[in-house]
Amino acid sequence: MRPYILAEANWKHIHDQPIDLAILPWGATEAHNYHLPYATDVIEADHITAEAARLAWERGARVMVLPTIPFGVNTGQTDILLDINLYPSTQKAILNDIIEVLNRQGIHKLLILNSHGGNDFKTALRELGVRYPAMFLSTCSWFQTLDKSQFFDEPKGDHADEMETSLLLHLRPDLVLPLSEAGDGKAKKWKVQGLREGWAWAERKWSLVSADTGIGDPRGATAEKGQRYFEAVTQKLSGLFIELAQMNAQDLYE
């Protein structure tokens, strides 16, 4: 039993355990090219959060990892089989109820560890921050913590790409089809210049952009690349966990 993983802990051990930071991993259930499992984002969230929490715990941070939420925002993929969509308003309702419990029980810091590009918690946290002024609410997407070009040959993808495939080859190779069965992850570009360059935004209609649901060529992926990236990401995140757990929420700025 890892005492910082709520799903494994029991009340006997934790009922008087001080908790400075709750961490809520949030994934998605969606197709990932032809070769990765639907739970890819959940598997990444589970492993990355647990390992970063272990590193933080061993350095004295009193953190508690809540169970990973398995469904995310998939509004751009309504026609892709069994991509399960939670609306942002539903996510906010779930978050409200979790934060209400934390707030009532005196656990006043929360970090959402996001594992899915369609999830965006900032607007919900702005709103819930007004509703729960005693709470410190924060969010971080693990896939934005490091420069992927330091780890991968094809760093431009963002879905079932070389990075995600490498991570899954490291974490759950039993669930990855041979790369010869993967699609090339080729994605069409926007015709509108501002959207193409990324300084304007509109949601992508996923099935019109990619034939295999992937965005980014996975075929250079290896377990070794995945392990190196996993270790770097979890190391960096553990530093965030420690700082958030130990910071004084009444004295945040310098």
Nearest-CB residue for Zn ion: 41
CB of 41 to Zn ion, least distance (A): 4
**Closer CB to Zn ion, residue 84 or residue 249?**
84
| Tokens describing residue 7 | 């799903």
**Closer CB to Zn ion, residue 119 or residue 238?**
119
CB of 116 to Zn ion, least distance (A): 6
| Tokens describing residue 153 | 């040959």
**Closer CB to Zn ion, residue 41 or residue 51?**
41
131 close to 96: Cβ distance less than 8 angstroms:
yes
Three-class SS state of 70: coil
Q: Which of residues 15-74 bind Zn ion (CB under 5 A)?
A: 40-41
How far apart, in Å, are the Cα atoms of 91 and each of 41, 123, 137? 16, 11, 15
| Tokens describing residue 38 | 């639907």
The upper half-sphere exposure of residue 184, i.e. CA atoms within 13 Å in the direction of its Cβ, equals 3
CB of 240 to Zn ion, least distance (A): 21
How far apart, in Å, are the Cα atoms of 138 and each of 21, 99, 112? 11, 12, 6
What pairing do the DSSP bridges indicate for beta strands 21-26 and 109-114?
Answer: parallel
**Closer CB to Zn ion, residue 41 or residue 83?**
41
CB of 72 to Zn ion, least distance (A): 9
Q: How many residues bind Zn ion (CB under 5 A)?
A: 2
CB of 157 to Zn ion, least distance (A): 10
Three-class SS state of 95: helix
What pairing do the DSSP bridges indicate for beta strands 21-26 and 63-65?
Answer: parallel
**Closer CB to Zn ion, residue 42 or residue 102?**
42
**Closer CB to Zn ion, residue 41 or residue 212?**
41
CB of 170 to Zn ion, least distance (A): 15
Positions touching Zn ion (CB under 5 A) are: 40-41
